[in-house]
Amino acid sequence: MTVLTLIGPKVSCDAAHDQPCYGDNCAHWEHLSITLPAGSQYVATHYFTNADTPNDLSDVRETGPGEVAYAHFSESQVASNASNEPVVSSIYFNRASRVRLVQLTVDYQMP
DSSP 77-100: EEEE-TTS-EEEEEEEEE-SSS-E
| pLDDT over threshold 90, residue 1 | no
Q: Are strands 77-80 and 86-94 parallel, antiparallel or unpaired?
A: antiparallel
Does the pTM surpass 0.85? The reply is: yes
Q: pLDDT tens, 36-90?
A: 999 999 999 999 999 998 899 999 999 999 899 999 999 999 999 999 899 999 9
What burial class does residue 19 get, using C-beta atoms within 10 Å of its C-beta: 0-12 exposed, 13-18 middle, 19+ buried? exposed
Topology of 4-109 in CATH? Immunoglobulin-like (2.60.40)
Question: Apex CA 78: angle with CA 65 and CA 57, to 5°?
Answer: 30
Is the distance from CB of 51 to CB of 68 less than 8 angstroms? yes
pLDDT at 62: 97
Domain locations in the chain as residue ranges: 4-109
